[in-house]
Chain A
């Protein structure tokens, strides 16, 4: 394997280019085989492997084996496979192609050894994810995708500024711990650029804005890659940065509160992405070995259970065409398998013992306790209870149970079901037997044991009593036909209204100016040729000629002014 000297990501990106030209079985085969091929190559990559290439005078490390990079690359290729399995019969070619580009470039980011390679894949990821949203081809998806791409291009520019300044200052393009020296302008710009992609405040709104507008399978892809590559970059570059603790805690509770108020089932899950990623960001801020290992483990299990939850919500959407909790309910009767998979995902996100969430989330909590971060630990514990409340119970309750909506949809098609079974199995298997995940992350977690009697019992108390709270408080959390205002109000309402009124004003001025000129020209024409009919073709021609003369004159004046200023 030592001769492998190109980014593994290229395999998926090449697939993305091929997809539009393929049909039928060949296309299906490609989208399923490529992620498995990539997974094999990643697992075969020898430790410490680094292949380089000369580019514009820089020595790029475009494929590198690193402790955390491998963890993320493995889960990315697994979710690419299962996501494609879920999508390949229902999604259109654009979505499949975009998903391959998206997952490929995400793998490119986590296996990049230098900042330039990282940045290139980072931007490709923004392109891929935007196309995933647009491939849903609804008006809402188009608009949400536009807002999404604007945010990500902005984040990309900030990241680019940071990288350029960092390289200019240090002359070093290696991607490594950025906090080693003094954190200057360059490093702070890089940090902000990454935080944009992670959904940090104040612009956390893009996640809940864009993800629910994608197709059922599209939101599965979206939930997996963008925020988690940002988590990876923070682990390597900014571990132990104290500000991240507070940013993370904000995200945790932002996600919970907004999810409690939300009505759209996939938007509830999108808010919970912010909340769960907040756990990871806080863990990175704590920055000890155990905390970082916990973050990597939690990212791993999070990708699986979040994909499972979104697949189960996607199946409901695909079968019923409904997405609001107020329209759903009682679906467990005819979709028991989907409901069961949704419940397993919900238990895993709540960190129930015997699920993947339990063995990963507790690592970050333990790290907080070990560092005597009392506030962090109490807030984490409260958030764990809250997570069971809004995601573990609210999502399955309102979608599959509560009042009977009267709908009796069938189970989704076989490929969608199997994708859910695979991830439901993963959620439980990792919870019962976490050793393979711990081995993948490395020696720091070898002697970590989540299953102490004390831990299991306090976790059960915490979750079951928050379950009691859910059913007691049920009348207070009834879903309503509402959305919740967020920071995006600024650009969706205020700036929009502002732009609209400027546009109206411009149009008005332009129209009156045009009317004035028109009158002027026709009066000149009338004076010179008084016998011509006002509306004859002759007088129209003369008016036209006069207008063109005026226009050319005006443009030359503008050009002259432009150059004289320059």
Chain B
């Protein structure tokens, strides 16, 4: 019915991309066995430190942003509305 999708967004490609991502994740962690890390701080010596630390810090930041977002997000016309109010007021008073 519709034209064929771009090869990059076909489900088959996406599946391959996921496999590629997961394989490279495993490889980077396995490389730990072959490299000696220069450790500055104790916890850094734990296995795959950068991997779990990177994942966890992103998770925390997203949750933090989400919670903050509940309080500070406003419709993106928020500031325009106050200006429009002013304009309406000016129009009314000039009429």
Contact = CB atoms under 8 A, between A and B. Distances in A.
Nearest to A507: B93
A203 interface: no
A261 B73 contact: yes
10 contacts: A260-B61, A369-B40, A381-B54, A382-B57, A389-B62, A457-B50, A462-B51, A465-B25, A484-B74, A500-B86
Contacts of A143: 83
B61 A461 contact: no
A385 B50 CA distance: 9
B74 to A, nearest CB: 6
A457 B32 contact: yes
Interface stretch (A61-69, A291-299, A474-482): A474-482
Q: Which label, helix, strand, loop or mixed, suits the secondary structure of the A interface?
A: helix
Interface in B22-41: 24-25, 28-29, 31-32, 35-38, 40-41
Contact of B61 (A374, A386, A459, A497): A386
| 5 pairs of A and B residues whose beta carbons are closest in the complex | A382-B57, A469-B58, A461-B50, A462-B54, A385-B54
Interface in A448-496: 452-454, 457-471, 473, 476-477, 480-486, 492-493, 496
Given A382-B57, A464-B24, A497-B82, 9 more contacts: A256-B65, A257-B65, A264-B76, A453-B35, A454-B37, A458-B37, A473-B62, A477-B65, A493-B79
B28 A460 contact: yes
A322 interface: no
B1 interface: no
A461 B25 CA distance: 7
A492 B79 contact: yes
Given A473-B62, A476-B66, A480-B73, A465 B55 contact: yes
B12 interface: no
**Looking at chain A, what size class is its interface with the partner chain?**
35 or more
A477 B64 CA distance: 12
Contacts of B74: 482-485
A425 interface: no
Interface in B68-95: 68-69, 72-76, 78-79, 82-83, 85-86, 89, 93
Nearest to B38: A454
Contacts of B73: 261, 480, 482-485
A332 B68 CA distance: 32
Contacts of A401: 9
Interface of A: 143, 253, 256-257, 260-261, 263-264, 324, 330, 332-333, 369, 372, 374, 377-378, 381-382, 385-386, 389, 401, 404, 452-454, 457-471, 473, 476-477, 480-486, 492-493, 496-497, 500, 504, 507
Nearest to A258: B65
B32 A481 contact: no
Contacts of A496: 82
Contacts of A381: 50, 53-54, 57
B21 interface: yes
A379 to B, nearest CB: 9
Given A260-B61, A466-B58, A473-B62, A459 B50 contact: yes
Nearest to B73: A482
Given A481-B75, A500-B86, A461 B58 contact: no
B50 A485 contact: no
Contact of B53 (A257, A385, A389, A457): A385
Nearest to B32: A457
A263 B76 contact: yes
Contacts of A464: 21, 24-25, 28, 51, 54
A448 to B, nearest CB: 14
A454 B35 contact: yes
